[in-house]
Amino acid sequence: MSEKVLQTLGEFIIDKQEDFQYTTGELSRLLSAIRLASKVVNREVNKAGIADIIGKAGNTNIQGEDQQKLDVLANEIFIAALSQREVVCGIASEENDDFIDVKCGPNGHMSKYVVLIDPLDGSSNIDVNVSVGSIFSIYRRISEPGTPVELRDFLQKGTEQVAAGYVVYGSSTMIVYTTGNGVNGFTLDPSLGTYYLSHPNMTFPESGKIYSINEGNYLKFPQGVKNYLKYCQMIEGDRPYTSRYIGSLVSDFHRNMIKGGIYMYPSYANAPHGKLRLLYECNPMAFLAEQAGGKATDGFNRILDLEPTELHQRVPFFCGSKNMVEKAEEFMRIDATQD
């Protein structure tokens, strides 16, 4: 019996170039740069326990959060891979205060694309050997090609994304991404250093039995969220649901997309605008969710329709199986009408 021939990520990208709105090959090269960066970060993550890259770096990012050593390293790896291949004109990272202007091509700034990255999502889990990830979001610039990139190139609504995805570094390493034509997942064969198509046409079940939220903040949640959690825990029909929370958005999202569930990071007393970043986390995951038949909102509004006003803007985030997100929204609306 002959073995099944698996399609590599590189082959898939080439085959699907006609799905891109603008078929120049540039977006394909950009995705290839992200693929390379993910393999380098994967190597560093997997040797974290025996190398001096665990723990805090001694710095804080613009959000006032302690940077882990691997946060800094992953950020450098992604920026280098994207800059040196001359495939983008600008990069914005969750770890950097401001965006980076990248000269590309002999005349400078000729690339059509900007990339926003969360280089290492869930990095506080590194030293306890729990899954972490990277998130990326790609837009066409709106400023004039050949000129330096501008802030408005990054402050675009999520509906304008041309591609988005994540890498999960877990029991296996996977890249999951979309260019607006469905969601596909690729698993890294570490012996060959090659990603192979392993999860074609990924979709969220319409309903699920998992809810993911940091219940330690329960007392500070809006009443609508509290009421939805009580609903999830009620013994009725297919409930109670199961609580599963890893503390890494990529890992929680990935599990819920495969098994069916909802991820929630609402506003609460200590974070009145939520904690997750619209541009680096919510928009790319919302794009993936919708392409996989799921839904993503801030509790009231579609995430992809939100108008960004700053690079590090935070918003509440409800994302996952469509029926579960809509039920959570229902509880939020009821609470809002009673205020």
What confidence tier does 2 reach under pLDDT thresholds 50, 70, 90?
A: very low
- 15 domain-assigned: yes
Res 1: pLDDT: 40
Q: Considering only CA atoms, which of 103, 44, 108, 112 is closest in space to residue 78? A: 44
Res 53: pLDDT: 45
Q: Clarify whether residues 245 and 195 are in a common domain.
A: no
For residue 270, the one-letter residue type is: N
Domain limits for position 35: 9-199
Indicate which CATH number applies to the domain containing 304: 3.40.190.80
Instruction: Flag whether 243 is marked binding.
Output: no
Q: Clarify whether residues 328 and 268 are in a common domain.
A: yes
The pLDDT tens digits of the residues spanning 74-126 come to 999 999 999 988 889 999 999 999 999 998 766 667 788 999 999 999 887 77
Instruction: Flag whether 214 is marked binding.
Output: yes
Res 281: pLDDT: 98
The dihedral over CA atoms of 277, 283, 288, 294, expressed in degrees to the nearest 10, equals 90
- 236 domain-assigned: yes
Instruction: Flag whether 120 is marked binding.
Output: yes
More confident residue, 237 or 56: 237
Q: Clarify whether residues 126 and 243 are in a common domain.
A: no
pLDDT at 58 over 60: no
Instruction: Flag whether 32 is marked binding.
Output: no
- 2 domain-assigned: no
Instruction: Flag whether 94 is marked binding.
Output: yes
Q: Clarify whether residues 163 and 218 are in a common domain.
A: no
Share of the chain above pLDDT 70, in %: 89
Instruction: Flag whether 251 is marked binding.
Output: no
Res 67: pLDDT: 65
Six-digit token pair at 109? 């700034």
**Helix and strand counts by DSSP (H, E) for the chain:** 7, 15
What confidence tier does 22 reach under pLDDT thresholds 50, 70, 90?
A: low
Q: Clarify whether residues 155 and 232 are in a common domain.
A: no
What confidence tier does 16 reach under pLDDT thresholds 50, 70, 90?
A: confident
The pLDDT tens digits of the residues spanning 274-301 come to 999 999 999 999 999 999 999 999 999 9
- 235 domain-assigned: yes
Instruction: Point out the least confidently predicted range of 144-148, 282-286, 329-333.
Output: 144-148
Q: Clarify whether residues 32 and 155 are in a common domain.
A: yes
Instruction: Flag whether 275 is marked binding.
Output: yes
CB 225 within 8 A of CB 233: no
In this structure, how many other beta carbons lie within 10 angstroms of the beta carbon of residue 101? 16
The pLDDT tens digits of the residues spanning 227-275 come to 999 999 999 999 999 999 999 999 999 999 999 999 999 998 888 899 9
Instruction: Flag whether 118 is marked binding.
Output: yes
- 204 domain-assigned: no
Q: Quickly tell me which residue has 């306890």 as its tokens.
A: 128
Instruction: Flag whether 22 is marked binding.
Output: no
- Domain end among 199, 221, 251: 199
- Domain end among 199, 227, 244: 199
Q: Clarify whether residues 261 and 172 are in a common domain.
A: no
- Domain end among 199, 229, 261: 199
Q: Clarify whether residues 46 and 195 are in a common domain.
A: yes
- 317 domain-assigned: yes
- 131 domain-assigned: yes
Indicate which CATH number applies to the domain containing 139: 3.30.540.10
- 1 domain-assigned: no
The pLDDT tens digits of the residues spanning 198-234 come to 999 999 999 999 999 999 999 999 999 999 999 999 9
Distance CA 339, CA 320 (A): 27
- Strand-by-strand arrangement of the 242-243 sheet: 242-243, 210-212, 261-265, 317-320, 295-297
More confident residue, 20 or 124: 124
Q: Clarify whether residues 116 and 221 are in a common domain.
A: no
Our count of domains for the chain comes to 2
Q: Clarify whether residues 69 and 182 are in a common domain.
A: yes
Stretch 11-22: mean pLDDT, rounded?
77
pTM as predicted: 0.92
Q: Clarify whether residues 156 and 239 are in a common domain.
A: no
Q: Clarify whether residues 263 and 226 are in a common domain.
A: yes
For all residues of the chain together, what is the average pLDDT?
90
